[in-house]
Amino acid sequence: MKKRNRISVAILVLSAAWVLSSPARAQTVSIPSGLQEGKSGQYDLAVRFSGYSQAPGAVQLMVYVPEGVAGKDRPVVVFYHGNTRDRNYYRDSVAYMTARADKYKFVLVSAQNWWSLGNGDVRGANDSRLAVNLVLNELKDEDIFDPERAYPVGFSAGGYVAVLSFLNSLNQFGDQAISLYSYEFEIDEDDVIRHYYSQVGGLDMNLFDYAGFASFKGNYYEGYVDMNPFVEEYQETWNRLVRSKILFFAVGENDVPRVKQQAPQAADFFRMYAKVEPIYKVYPGEGHVLSEANWNDFWKLVEEP
């Protein structure tokens, strides 16, 4: 074992002794019967969880199923809007996304995430991810969408949340990491992954195997990607997990300075840690807006055979 990982594992084991002694954190969500049956329409969901970082008790989601779209062969797109203090933006101001759902025939999940970047603390971005993952895991066996064609996408601050949702929902445990964790905690290898996530919402809130992501004119902040300390070969693991996925960045030639600085940093994360080259497109003449050209280029990748 590499020395640096011995240190990180030791720190985790010491901290976990306190974490694992704390009460389990419960989460609840009620799925409307119409949605369970795949009926077209707009559905409001509230995902309650006592362990959110910044969300006030519940994350609100809107699920939009266009007429004639629900089916196990159709994609699902999770949309994270840009930074706003409007708590209802996810539902009341996303006609541009429901119109795309109608046109391109996908199921839309629009997530409330007004808290994520409003005060300079981006930890709340993970709250939206946890809520969405739980709902997708609840619905994935209902033949409403193809769970192997699920994509988090976002604009501006939401682009950062989309990248974070994709990365932090990957199951980083391989055989070696499972064996190490099993040894450190003296538990059966079959229980390792469940045990690892047991105090932070459980498997269904933390894990979902997304097919890729799109960050449209998105921000990026280092230090918030969960790097499993039991994984020794980071590059090999991350390469295995993401090399077949759609990794899409759209940046405007005349974009805001922060995005022009941060978007390349996000792309560099994949180059450095996964040894893969993401799709990184700069759009001539474009500013800070989610254009139809941005969307079309991403959607062509989704619909490729």
| Mean pLDDT (10-residue bins), the chain, 305 residues | 40 40 68 94 96 90 91 93 90 98 97 69 86 96 94 96 97 95 95 94 97 97 88 93 98 98 97 97 98 98 90
Under CATH, which number does the domain 3-303 receive?
3.40.50.1820
Cα radius of gyration rounded to whole Å, the chain: 19
pLDDT score, position 109: 99
Q: Which value, to the nearest 10 degrees, does the dihedral of the CA atoms of residues 271, 272, 273, 277 take?
A: 10
pLDDT score, position 305: 74
Burial pattern 260-289, b for ≥16 Cβ within 10 A else e, equals bebbeebbebbeebbebebebeebeebebe
pLDDT score, position 83: 86
User: What is the C-alpha to C-alpha distance for residues 98 and 105, in angstroms, rounded to an integer?
Assistant: 10
CB 132 within 8 A of CB 193: no
pLDDT score, position 89: 95
- Select from 216, 119, 213 the least CA-distant residue to 225: 213
User: What is the C-alpha to C-alpha distance for residues 167 and 83, in angstroms, rounded to an integer?
Assistant: 20
Give whole-number Cα distances, 145 to 54, 137, 208, 240, in Å. Answer: 30, 11, 14, 25
pLDDT score, position 113: 85
pLDDT score, position 106: 96
pLDDT score, position 15: 39
pLDDT score, position 291: 98
Helix (H) / strand (E) containing 15:
helix 3-19
Q: What is the pTM of this model?
A: 0.90
Q: Amino acid letter at 149? A: R
pLDDT score, position 24: 53
pLDDT score, position 209: 98
